[in-house]
Amino acid sequence: MTTPPIVFVPSEVQAGESRVAASPDTVKRLVGLGLDVIVEAGAGLASRITDEEFAGAGAAIGSAGDAAKADVVLKVRRPGEAELKGYKKGAAVIAIMDPYGNDTAVAALARAGVTAFAMEFMPRITRAQAMDVLSSQANLAGYQA
């Protein structure tokens, strides 16, 4: 029997970043699809989401070291070189990559052997609006205000 793919949600390390790349609802949906989800301990605290809420949705609570076994890493911001050293080669990394003018950071993704998906490059069309990070983040900012 094959093991299900592992999705890892790490804490954001960029100064001032208070968002987390998944919510308990997202975790519940991923687990419902048969994926194993690991959320780094404390990853949601700046977003007022506790480890208990993630665990209640079906996630395991882990550490940054769990990135080494993840098939998919969900982040808000592009991982830095130090983070990438702990990622499994071949993992899919889904985040806001901010690639323009950041050639060194993009090259680090390539050297790490990960497949990077830049969420800001999702088409801004009606059918893909649910995945449009620019609109969704503006909506969240209004909600938080």
Residues 6 or more apart whose Cβ sits within 8 Å of residue 36: 3, 4, 5, 6, 7, 60
Q: How far apart are CA 44 and CA 16, in angstroms?
A: 14
Number of neighbours of residue 115 by Cβ within 10 angstroms: 13
Q: Is residue 55 part of a domain?
A: yes
Q: Is residue 1 part of a domain?
A: no
Question: With bands split at pLDDT 50, 70 and 90, how would you rate the model's confidence at 45?
Answer: very high
pLDDT of residue 127: 62
Structural domain including 76 reads 6-144
Number of domains in the chain: 1
- Would the pLDDT of 145 be above 80? no
pLDDT of residue 2: 83
Distances (CA, A) of 37 to 9, 33, 125: 8, 11, 29
The pairing of beta strand 92-96 with beta strand 6-9? unpaired
Q: Is residue 58 part of a domain?
A: yes
Q: Over range 26-38, report the average pLDDT.
A: 97
Using the Cα atoms of residue 135, residue 136, residue 139 and residue 144 in order, give the sign of their dihedral.
negative
pTM score: 0.87
Q: DSSP code of 145?
A: -
Q: Is residue 48 part of a domain?
A: yes
Q: Is residue 100 part of a domain?
A: yes
Q: Are 77 and 105 in contact (CB under 8 A)?
A: no
- Would the pLDDT of 142 be above 70? no
Q: Over range 15-28, report the average pLDDT.
A: 95
- Would the pLDDT of 17 be above 80? yes
Q: Is residue 98 part of a domain?
A: yes
Render pLDDT for 48-92 as a digit per residue (tens, 0 to 9).
999 999 999 999 999 999 999 999 999 999 999 999 999 999 999
Distances (CA, A) of 117 to 36, 41, 50: 20, 24, 27
Render pLDDT for 80-138 as a digit per residue (tens, 0 to 9).
999 999 999 999 999 999 999 999 999 999 999 999 999 888 776 666 555 566 555 55
Q: Is residue 22 part of a domain?
A: yes
Q: Is residue 23 part of a domain?
A: yes
Whichever domain contains 41, its CATH number is: 3.40.50.720
Using the Cα atoms of residue 24, residue 83, residue 12 and residue 124 in order, give the sign of their dihedral.
negative
Six token digits for residue 141: 């900012």
